[in-house]
Structure 1
Amino acid sequence: MPTPPPTGPLVTRDTLGAELRALGVEPGEILLVHSSLSSLGWVCGGAVTVVHALLDAVGPDGTLVVPTQSGDLSDPAGWSNPPVPEEWWERIRAAMPAYDPLITRSCGVGVVPETVRTWPGALRSAHPHTSFAALGARAAEIVAGHAPDCRLGERSPLARLEERGARVLLLGAGYDSCTSFHLAEYRIPAPLVEVGRPAAGGGWEKVTEVSISAERFDELGRDFERDRHVLRGKAGAADVRLFPVADAVAYAERWLALHRPREEEMLHPPA
């Protein structure tokens, strides 16, 4: 069978940059990007083109930030996609390499964040599971000080982004990937959980963390977009949304307390 021709539209560095600027991305701003490369259409140059276009849009004085999570450095007892045999668990814990911000690959966030992570000059935060990578004028101050026991809370880059007036760009991605909503979870009553991971000095460690979940984030996003000012448009074939981190966090803090109460979970926290 012959390979079918690619579906469009054709996306280039220039067309994507122009569409981002038309949407409202401004030179000099700090932009937290959640992305889906496949949603854009046929991108000439792939993820490299997307990163170039994003950097063009924010300019030399701007800063590009992406999530570079590495949740695969986790306890195999909790793996489900796919699971591994229980008799492997202890051997996996003993052999799993510790997080290294320079070489640990991102996992589950797409090819654009992984491209940013490996871009010349990129800086990455220190959390073993929920790091962020940044490029640009304010990259260092955003990724610094990411506490090892604070995945997405007050001592993470999300709080730095909120303080500095950053905006979120959903580039073909849905609200279920909006990490800013997680910062709100740290500001309302939430259960604590023990999170396992390989220790930097060798062996296995467990850290007590706030329980976070993207459950109902899609509903939260729809209500947020209905009630708050969200810039919407297209980039290639992708739906694009642009809004301040601070607006998303403030709205989610109220919405989650009302629509996703966790009192029962507080009484019976996960093991």
Structure 2
Amino acid sequence: MLIEGLETLGLAQGDSVLVRAAVKAMGPTEGRAATLLIEGLLELLGPEGTALGLAFTPAYPSWARNPDHVWTPATPSATGGLAAAMASWPGAVRSQHPTNGFVAIGRHAQDMLADHDHTKPCFHPMNKLLERNGKMILVGCVESSPGFSTVHLAQEHLGLSTQTIRQGLFGTYFEQDGKVEWFARLDEPGCSMGFSKFYADYVREGLLRTAMIGQAYSIGIDAKAAYALERAKLEKDVTAALCDRPECFGCRGIWNYNKKDWPAYWAKEGVRKVKNRFRALRIG
């Protein structure tokens, strides 16, 4: 049933696919959901296929640097059980980006991730996925972690990811050529909760495929088609991917291309900080 569901999402032998998942949503699997999903993917994709995942790790404020926090390829991912299972899979390849790494398993894993290091943007491997006419699937996280990573790539290509007040303010220590150095991240992935706004567009254009993977509602799409639609929409409105939550710092308070929301957000945030300060003083 799992492989049939993956086929319904559009996957086939030899494909390259980026998969994101909330594996617990697949239902009772005796704690083996991530393993079962990877096994199903690799069986379906075959020896010429490649499965990719996001293996992000923490970024820290530059004003609170901790020399004990040094990124290495063995640093545990903070992006859930699937990423952890993929990273520990025999033959897995992990990119060398200190905060926004990818992990891949399969025929083209090394080629797709080899140059993703501290000199490249966060979602650089997505370029390789497009070149390979790759696909993307979401398993069980259609609402909780919505949208596809091609939106981030379109934002990178349009120069939006670096238009942030946080540019260079977060990063981590990492080791290079035997030396420990500070990596300052220049591009900002930002909030992705607004990526669900593209769902209706995918459906209207007939791009989206749906299936149940276990008990998890899942969707799939061709990466090139998704990227073309997303980029066209962002070219018309650079704020199209921002969420609608007025309290969202990642959408309302950091982007230079969305300054219209700054006064209302920062005025409210300033009041909140003052209230919290007085509350702390009274408690103390």
Matched, 1:143 2:143: no
Contact 2:98–2:174, Cα closer than 8 Å, also in 1: no
Matched, 1:170 2:138: yes
- The Cα shift of 1:251 comes to 1.2
Cα 1:177–1:116, aligned 2, differ >3 Å: closer, same or farther? farther
Which of 201, 209, 214 matches 1:223? 201
TM (norm. structure 1) is: 0.77
> How many Å separate the matches in 2 of 1:208 and 1:66?
22
Matched, 1:187 2:135: no
> How many Å separate the matches in 1 of 2:127 and 2:119?
14
Cα distance per residue 1:72-97 (max 9 Å; x no partner): 142276xxxxxxxxxxx35xx23212
- The Cα shift of 1:258 comes to 3.0
> How many Å separate the matches in 1 of 2:190 and 2:22?
22
TM (norm. structure 2) is: 0.74
Partner of 1:265: 256
> How many Å separate the matches in 2 of 1:54 and 1:48?
10
- The Cα shift of 1:143 comes to 0.8
Matched, 1:47 2:34: yes
- The Cα shift of 1:123 comes to 0.4
Alignment of 1:1-271 (within 5 A): 15-44=1-30, 45-70=32-57, 72-75=58-61, 89-90=64-65, 93-97=66-70, 99-101=71-73, 103-107=74-78, 109-153=79-123, 156-174=124-142, 176=146, 178-190=148-160, 191-192=163-164, 193-194=167-168, 195-200=170-175, 201-202=179-180, 204-209=182-187, 212-261=190-239, 265-266=256-257
> How many Å separate the matches in 1 of 2:5 and 2:171?
42
Which runs of no fewer than 5 residues in structure 2 stay unpaired? 241-254, 263-284
- The Cα shift of 1:21 comes to 2.5
Cα 1:247–1:152, aligned 2, differ >3 Å: closer, same or farther? farther
Cα 1:196–1:52, aligned 2, differ >3 Å: closer, same or farther? same
Cα 1:157–1:151, aligned 2, differ >3 Å: closer, same or farther? same
> How many Å separate the matches in 2 of 1:19 and 1:266?
40
Cα 1:210–1:48, aligned 2, differ >3 Å: closer, same or farther? closer
Which residue identity does 1:34 align to in structure 2? Answer: R
> How many Å separate the matches in 2 of 1:255 and 1:110?
30
> How many Å separate the matches in 1 of 2:62 and 2:184?
13
Which residue identity does 1:140 align to in structure 2? Answer: Q
Contact 1:232–1:241, Cα closer than 8 Å, also in 2: yes
> How many Å separate the matches in 2 of 1:228 and 1:188?
25
- The Cα shift of 1:171 comes to 1.3
> How many Å separate the matches in 2 of 1:169 and 1:57?
14
RMSD: 2.6
Partner of 2:249: none
Please identify, of 158-167 and 53-62, the stretch whose mean Cα deviation from structure 2 is larger: 53-62
Contact 1:149–1:207, Cα closer than 8 Å, also in 2: no
> How many Å separate the matches in 1 of 2:8 and 2:171?
44
Contact 1:31–1:168, Cα closer than 8 Å, also in 2: yes
User: Identity rate of aligned residues, in percent?
Assistant: 22
> How many Å separate the matches in 2 of 1:46 and 1:261?
36
- The Cα shift of 1:207 comes to 4.1
- The Cα shift of 1:266 comes to 4.3
**SS where residue 66 of structure 1 aligns?**
strand
Cα distance per residue 1:163-184 (max 9 Å; x no partner): 1111001111226352221000
Which runs of no fewer than 5 residues in structure 1 stay unpaired? 1-14, 78-88
Cα 1:198–1:22, aligned 2, differ >3 Å: closer, same or farther? same
**SS where residue 187 of structure 2 aligns?**
strand
Which residue identity does 2:196 align to in structure 1? Answer: D
